[in-house]
């Protein structure tokens, strides 16, 4: 493990003491950069034995220049900023950290869904404008009369379902990779894709971003939903065609959307979502808590050390 060097391509953490401690104890040197472009990543990563990546783009060109890299670890659950196929072709494992921030993201998704179901943003705005009414401006069914749905049934989706169980709503999920029996054990009905959109009152997205899931929510599927439906996205921004979603909100095709992640971040100031009625927007903060940051840093650093030691990896995404 001597003379090995890891590069942090970019990060937004208050400090790196967890990485410094874990890598230092393993005898691994650490170089820190704040790359934004592929050219900057390529220059910073030259000669590196391992990469820790947060948002910086690691494309096929960057990977082609990694002459001795043994592992790439992405800080977080998603890994669409890393070309995993190019890494696989070079024999470089790419790992994510799917077991941090699970409860936080589920909390945020459920909070967005509940706030919109109870019309809290609209009622707050109405009160601040000087209108005092003890009934909402549009129908508000009880949560126990609603159907809570998730696209996906992984860790975060299951945690969100557990949280929603207490509201006694009907719960359904779409996930082609999870069996009906597994969902039934959680009290959740497995449904097909079309039923997901037609039956959901509250639809929360918990899918990875792939070529197949990009614009999973589009104009056609929005048109199939109930006019009272609410969509929540705390997963990956491009799962939703956000221009189509903004039109659907403006036209009353659906009632609301709680969005934490976007196709382009930061969300452009002129984006129509900013003025869409029924849109509750947050700035990619679902993952955050005081404990989630150090957990993410520690787990990522530990996976990197396993990779450099040749030990079994916990979360390789490009086997």
In the prediction, which pLDDT does 269 show? 97
| Whether 162 and 300 share a structural domain | no
For this structure, is 192 an active site residue?
no
Q: What tens digit of pLDDT does each residue of 90-147 get?
A: 999 999 999 999 999 999 999 999 999 999 999 999 999 999 999 999 999 999 999 9
Residue 203 has pLDDT above 70, yes or no: yes
Task: Give the single-character DSSP code of 205.
Answer: E
Which of 202, 221, 225 is CA-nearest to residue 145? 202
Task: Report yes or no on 17 lying in a domain.
Answer: yes
Shared domain check, 301 and 182: no
For residue 184, give its domain range. 102-281
Pair 178, 239 in one domain: yes
Is residue 246 included in any domain, yes or no? yes
Q: How far apart are CA 279 and CA 103, in angstroms?
A: 23
Asked if the model's pLDDT at residue 82 lies above 80, the reply is yes
Looking at the whole model, is its pTM more than 0.85? Answer: yes
Domain-located, residue 253:
yes
| Number of domains the chain contains | 2
Q: Are residues 151 and 249 in the same domain?
A: yes
Q: Is residue 318 part of a domain?
A: no
**CATH number (domain holding residue 305):** 3.40.50.720
* Span 239-252, average pLDDT: 98
Interatomic CA distance for residues 152 and 99, integer angstroms: 16
Q: What is the pLDDT of residue 152?
A: 98
Q: Is residue 317 part of a domain?
A: no
Residues 94 and 106 in one domain: no
Q: Is 265 a catalytic residue?
A: yes
How confident is the model over 66-80, as a mean pLDDT?
Answer: 95
pLDDT at 184: 98
**What is the rounded distance in angstroms from the CA atom of residue 179 to the CA atom of residue 197?**
19
Tell me, yes or no, whether 60 and 133 share the same domain.
no
Q: Are residues 89 and 110 in the same domain?
A: no
**Whole-number Cα distances in Å, 234 to 157, 214, 288:** 10, 14, 12
Considering the domain architecture, whether residues 80 and 221 belong to the same structural domain is answered as no
The reported pLDDT for the residue numbered 236 is 96
Catalytic position from the list 90, 138, 265, 309 = 265
Q: Is residue 73 part of a domain?
A: yes
In a domain, 226, yes or no: yes
pLDDT (average), residues 36-51: 97
Mean residue pLDDT of the chain comes to 97
Residue 287 has pLDDT above 80, yes or no: yes
Q: Is the pLDDT of residue 2 over 70?
A: no
Residue 158 has pLDDT above 70, yes or no: yes
| pLDDT, position 1 | 60
Considering the domain boundaries, does residue 315 fall inside one? no
What is the per-residue pLDDT for 65?
A: 97
Helix (H) or strand (E) holding 88: helix 84-89
162 and 243, same structural domain? yes
**Are residue 56 and residue 195 in the same domain, yes or no?**
no
Strands (E), 122-176: 147-151, 170-174
Q: Are residues 254 and 294 in the same domain?
A: no
Inform me whether the pLDDT recorded for 313 exceeds 90: yes
pLDDT tens figures, 165-199: 999 999 999 999 999 999 999 999 999 999 999 99
pLDDT at 41 over 90: yes
Residue 118 annotated to the active site: no
Q: Are residue 170 and residue 115 in the same domain, yes or no? A: yes
Catalytic residue among 46, 103, 284, 298: 284
CA distance 264 to 274: 13
pLDDT at residue 300, as a whole number: 98
Catalytic pick among 18, 161, 171, 236: 236
Between the CA of residue 137 and those of 133, 142, 147, 156, what are the distances in Å?
9, 15, 22, 33
């Amino acid at each position: 493990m001597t003379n090995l060097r890891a590069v942090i391509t970019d990060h937004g953490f208050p400090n790196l003491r967890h990485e410094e401690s874990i890598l230092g104890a393993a005898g691994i040197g650490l170089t820190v950069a704040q790359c934004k472009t592929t050219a900057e990543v390529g220059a910073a990563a030259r000669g590196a034995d391992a990469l820790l990546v947060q948002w910086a783009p690691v494309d096929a060109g960057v990977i082609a220049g990694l002459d001795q890299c043994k592992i790439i670890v992405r800080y977080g659950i998603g890994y669409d900023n890393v070309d995993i196929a190019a890494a696989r072709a070079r024999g470089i494992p790419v790992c994510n950290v799917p077991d941090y921030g699970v409860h936080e993201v589920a909390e945020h998704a459920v909070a967005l869904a509940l706030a919109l179901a109870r019309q809290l943003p609209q009622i707050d705005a109405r009160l601040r404008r000087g209108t005092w009414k003890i009934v909402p401006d549009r129908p508000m069914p009880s949560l126990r009369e609603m159907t809570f749905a998730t696209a996906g049934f992984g860790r975060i989706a299951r945690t969100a379902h557990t949280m929603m169980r207490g509201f006694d709503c009907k719960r359904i999920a779409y996930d082609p990779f999870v069996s009906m029996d597994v969902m039934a054990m959680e009290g959740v009905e497995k449904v097909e894709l079309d039923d997901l959109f037609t039956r959901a009152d509250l639809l929360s997205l918990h899918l990875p971003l792939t070529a197949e899931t990009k614009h999973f929510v589009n104009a056609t599927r929005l048109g199939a939903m109930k006019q009272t439906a609410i969509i929540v996205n705390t997963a990956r921004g491009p799962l939703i065609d956000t221009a189509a979603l903004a039109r659907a909100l403006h036209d009353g095709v659906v009632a609301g959307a709680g969005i934490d992640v976007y196709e382009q971040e930061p969300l452009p100031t002129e984006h129509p979502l900013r003025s869409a009625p029924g849109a509750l927007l947050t700035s990619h903060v679902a993952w955050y808590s005081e404990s989630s940051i150090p957990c993410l840093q520690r787990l990522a650093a530990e996976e990197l050390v396993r990779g450099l030691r040749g030990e079994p990896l916990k979360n390789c995404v490009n086997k």
